[in-house]
Structure 1
Amino acid sequence: MSADFTSIRNHNEQAVFAAVQDATDRYPGLADREDLLADVACVALNRLQPRYIRHKVDLAFYQTERERAEHDKAVADAVDYAFGFVQARTAMRARA
């Protein structure tokens, strides 16, 4: 019998994906580039400590309000950084 690990996921993924979508109006040069938005999400996720959960309620139950606020800020900071990073790399490639 083998274990089923399909219910395990990184809690940051959905938060980052939503934050990337919400920030696209601030980055019009990237907003319509799905490939670059995926790059932004990857860069942002790599800046965050993974938080693996099986059920969303698992983390919500154990986090304090302060921890939730810190997480939200960390996600926002990582996404802002990632947009800047991808935007700069895209501009460098266009000049080359």
Structure 2
Amino acid sequence: MKISDDIHNYYENLVIAHFSELNIDEKHDADYIADLTCIVLNQLPTRYIRHEVDMAFYLPASERFEMESKVKVAVQKGMEFMEAHQDS
């Protein structure tokens, strides 16, 4: 059995969107962003989906807000961790 290539964790999109809001790609190199992405996603629950439209249509606004809030906290913690361990 092969898991479809279009299955992904919805939090990945939320993390990327928040990185964009913070202009992380303008401030840091690709290695930093890759490490930060792993740190952030490991703090978050998984929410696997096949189609973005399903989440957009069925996700209540309150749940979307909660997910975005979790992402913001995880990114902040991840950046603090990266800063504290940058010379390690």
If the TM-score is normalised by the length of the shorter chain, which range does it land in? 0.7 to 0.9
Higher helix share: 1
1:69 aligned to which of 52, 65, 72:
65
TM-score, reference length from structure 2: 0.84
Residues 1:40 and 2:39 aligned together: no
- Give 1:4 shift: 5.7
Structure 2 stretches lacking a partner, 5+ long: none
**Counterpart position of 1:19:** 18
- Give 1:49 shift: 0.5
Identity, % of aligned pairs?
34
Higher Rg of the two aligned structures: 1
Q: How does 1:48-87 map to 2 (within 5 A)?
A: 48-87=44-83
- Give 1:60 shift: 2.0
Bigger mean CA deviation after superposition, 51-60 or 12-21: 12-21
RMSD: 1.9
Moved over 3 A (4+): none
Letter in 1 for 2:5: T
Q: Is the 8 A contact 1:20 1:40 kept in 2?
A: no
Structure 1 stretches lacking a partner, 5+ long: none
**Counterpart position of 1:7:** 6
TM-score, reference length from structure 1: 0.78
- Give 1:56 shift: 0.5
Counting matched residue pairs gives 87
